[in-house]
């Protein structure tokens, strides 16, 4: 059955294999964003130049002073700012050309790869939900409205200029009590799908207006959306039926796939090609399915008795079903990490398994002794993965060829930042143009005597 596993400070959706006649599943997992009462400035990133050198804080030294041959350079470390409460969710992180953009409460800040901030934008209240995809450098975010815990205001942000292009209330969309809680967002092209506890809506990126869309029949409700190349939505009904739909750029339904009786979509690992995990009402196994571009079942992945563990955050109500890290997909292959185990005294380890999307069969498995591997993205037919740090060694970015084999290092992270690298409670990882970024998803407020909690870390050659 589906379980939630907390490991290394993160929360994961475990995908279990077929055991005793039960098929594999993925458990949805999101936490309600906190409602900050005060706003504080976002700190400048610390770099190897100028006054804030080398990520120093509380007496920290410049890690680049200890850089070894072959190790990546620390481009910057940005300490987490003072925030209104501990364990605060800070959604929103996007990699642009030459800089990244991060939200913290009501601030949205762009950080140059060479260090220093590019621009800062303030919203009236804290950002509480955001998609992972952008459209021509623009993204719609949700921030706190007037009601308690209501994530009900929307704004379109130009990530190139640091400008707010429009700002208004989110559609009601069937909200119970008029509130928007546990909001999940997904953006694709000119559309944004929003789902929250008790409601949902599809809006246009251009002006934020709601799109008139075919609604599910009585007794059915939208569970969530996933964006990227296309926009998918999943819904389920009280009679045990459920469907997955692809929406056209204009907001109509392109195709509908009917989920087998008594199961529904729990996570959308990829929108194009579509790969989804299923659960039943008791959160028991439902399998992982690949769906074709015309809405037909392409394959059911042969997971066997292994358990798999992508990083899907905490999603209690399942409204943020497109938020999983640790999965990657090409046109014909899906990459999924196994649940971690202990490797004969060497530490925690896992494997990456590659599945053929046309047949569902496993093509190969790759393992590094005593290390955890996290799929990140594809570079052509090559898989890019993050080999996580151990208790003694730093992490590195590796590439794995289309036929598997031993991972080859692309970027070796420095020993000097190994403890800081391991210190992120929950994070988003992006490798782009030879640079690697780690961005926290939650500010815990837990500094140590030797280092400050980090908002961002960036590494390059």
Q: Say which CATH number the domain at 391 has.
A: 2.40.10
Q: Are residues 263 and 396 in the same domain?
A: no
CB count in 10 Å sphere of residue 237:
15
- Residue 104 contacts residue 42 (beta carbons within 8 Å): yes
Is the domain of 431 the same as that of 393? Answer: no
Which alpha helices (H) appear in 10-144, and where do they start and end? none
Mean pLDDT, the chain, whole residue set: 87
Where residue 59 falls among pLDDT bands split at 50, 70, 90? low
pLDDT at 4: 30
pLDDT, residue 7, reads 29
Stated as kind and residue range, the H or E segment containing 11 is strand 10-13
Q: 373-421: per-residue pLDDT in tens? A: 999 999 999 999 999 999 999 999 999 999 999 999 999 999 999 999 9
pLDDT the model gives residue 313:
78
User: What separation in angstroms does the CA of 46 have from each of 93, 197, 204, 227, 450?
Assistant: 18, 39, 37, 33, 16
Pair 359, 257 in one domain: no
**CA dist., res. 186 & res. 171, Å (int):** 15
Please tell me the pTM assigned to this model.
0.88
**334 and 395 in a common domain:** yes
Contact 394, 412 (CB under 8 A): yes
Question: Are 137 and 96 contacting, i.e. CB atoms less than 8 angstroms apart?
Answer: yes
**Nearest to 353, CA basis, from 363, 341, 365, 361:** 365
Question: Is 380:386 a contact under the CB 8 Å cutoff?
Answer: no
Judge contact between 260 and 317, C-beta under 8 A.
no
pLDDT in tens, 215-258: 888 899 999 999 999 999 999 999 999 999 999 999 999 999 99
Residue 250 and residue 330 in one domain: no
User: What does the pLDDT read at residue 24?
Assistant: 39
- Which distant-in-sequence residues (6+ apart) come within 8 Å of 86 by Cβ? 443, 444, 445, 446
Please check whether residue 201 lies inside any domain of the structure.
yes
Q: Is residue 13 a part of any domain in this protein? A: no
Instruction: Say if 17 falls within a structural domain.
Output: no
**Are the CB atoms for 141 and 157 separated by under 8 Å?**
yes
Single out the residue in 304, 324, 344 at which a domain terminates. 324
Number of domains in the chain: 3
Sign of CA dihedral 357, 362, 364, 369: positive
Query: Which of 17, 12, 18 has its CA nearest to residue 30?
Result: 12
What is the mean pLDDT of the segment spanning 321-338? 96
Q: For residue 113, tell me if it sits in a domain.
A: no
For 95-151, write each residue's pLDDT tens digit.
Answer: 999 999 999 999 999 999 998 999 999 999 999 999 999 999 999 999 999 877 799
Same-domain status, 234 and 299: yes
**Are residues 215 and 257 located together in one domain of the fold?**
yes
| Confidence grade of residue 330 (pLDDT, cut at 50, 70, 90) | very high
Question: For residue 198, is it within any domain?
Answer: yes
What confidence tens digit (pLDDT) does each residue in 4-57 have?
Answer: 332 233 334 556 554 433 443 333 333 323 333 333 444 555 443 333 333 444
* Whether residue 391 sits in one domain with residue 338: yes
- Spatial CB neighbours of 428, under 8 Å, sequence gap ≥ 6: 93, 325, 437, 438, 439, 441
Whether 284 and 359 map to the same domain: the answer is no
Cα Rg for the chain, rounded, in angstroms?
Answer: 21
Residue ending a domain, choose from 296, 324, 352 = 324
Predicted confidence band of residue 185 (pLDDT cuts 50, 70, 90): very high
Q: Among 433, 382, 419, which residue's Cα sits nearest to residue 75? A: 433
Residue that terminates a domain, selected from 261, 290, 324: 324
Q: Is residue 112 part of a domain?
A: no
Domain housing 384: 326-412
Note whether 422 and 374 are same-domain residues: no
Mean pLDDT over 435-447 rounds to 94
Asked whether residue 115 is assigned to any structural domain, the reply reads no
pLDDT the model gives residue 17: 55
- The pLDDT of 63-74, averaged and rounded, is 96
294: left (phi over 0), alpha (psi -120 to 50) or beta: alpha
Average pLDDT value for residue range 51-70: 68
Q: Helical H runs in 350-433? A: 418-422
203 domain-assigned: yes
| Residue 274 pLDDT > 60 | yes
Specify whether the CB–CB gap between 386 and 394 falls below 8 A. Answer: no
Average the pLDDT over each of 44-48, 167-171, 227-231, 338-342 and give the range with the smallest value: 44-48
Q: How many CB atoms are located within 10 Å of the residue 176 CB?
A: 10
**One domain for residues 216 and 252:** yes
Residues 408 and 418 in one domain: no
Q: Give 67 or 281, the one with higher predicted confidence.
A: 67
CA distance 305 to 24: 8
């Amino acid at each position: 059955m589906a379980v939630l596993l907390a490991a290394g400070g993160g929360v994961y959706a475990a995908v279990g294999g077929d055991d005793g006649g039960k098929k594999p599943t993925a458990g949805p997992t999101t936490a309600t964003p906190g409602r900050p009462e005060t706003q504080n400035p976002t700190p400048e990133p610390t770099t190897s130049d100028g006054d804030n050198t080398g990520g120093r804080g509380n007496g920290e030294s410049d890690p680049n002073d200890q850089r070894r041959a072959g190790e990546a350079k620390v481009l910057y470390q940005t300490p987490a700012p003072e925030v209104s409460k501990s364990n605060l969710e800070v959604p929103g992180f996007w990699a642009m050309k030459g800089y990244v953009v991060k939200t913290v409460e009501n601030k949205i800040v762009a950080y140059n790869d060479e260090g220093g901030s590019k621009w800062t934008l303030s919203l009236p209240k804290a950002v509480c939900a955001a998609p992972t995809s952008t459209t021509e450098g623009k993204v719609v975010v949700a921030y706190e409205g007037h009601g308690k815990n209501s994530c009900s205001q929307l704004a379109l942000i130009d990530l190139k200029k640091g400008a707010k292009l429009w700002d208004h209330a989110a559609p009601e969309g069937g909200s119970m009590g008029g509130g928007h809680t546990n909001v999940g967002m997904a953006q694709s092209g000119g559309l944004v799908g929003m789902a929250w506890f008790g409601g949902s809506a599809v809006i246009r990126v251009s002006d934020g207006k709601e799109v008139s869309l075919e609604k599910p029949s009585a007794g059915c409700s939208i569970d969530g959306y996933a964006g990227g190349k296309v926009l998918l939505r999943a819904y389920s009904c009280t009679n045990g039926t459920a469907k997955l739909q692809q929406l056209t750029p204009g907001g109509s339904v392109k195709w509908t796939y009917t989920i087998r009786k008594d199961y529904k979509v729990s996570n959308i690992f990829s929108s194009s090609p579509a790969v989804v995990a299923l659960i039943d009402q008791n959160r028991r196994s439902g399998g992982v399915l690949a769906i074709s571009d015309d809405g037909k079942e392409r394959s059911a992945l042969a997971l066997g008795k292994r358990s798999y563990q992508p990083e899907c955050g905490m999603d209690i109500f399942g409204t943020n079903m497109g938020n999983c890290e640790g999965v990657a997909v090409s046109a014909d292959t899906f990459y999924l990490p196994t649940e971690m185990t202990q490797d004969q005294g060497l530490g925690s380890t896992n494997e990456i398994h590659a599945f053929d999307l046309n047949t569902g069969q496993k093509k190969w498995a790759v393992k590094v002794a005593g290390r955890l591997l996290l799929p990140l993205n594809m570079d052509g037919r090559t898989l890019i993965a993050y080999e996580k740090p151990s208790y003694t060694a730093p992490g590195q970015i590796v590439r794995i060829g289309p036929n598997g084999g031993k991972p080859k290092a692309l970027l070796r992270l420095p020993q000097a930042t190994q403890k800081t690298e391991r210190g992120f409670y929950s994070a988003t990882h992006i490798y782009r143009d030879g640079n690697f970024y780690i961005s926290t998803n939650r500010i815990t407020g837990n500094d140590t005597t030797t280092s400050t909690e980090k908002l961002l870390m960036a590494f390059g050659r």
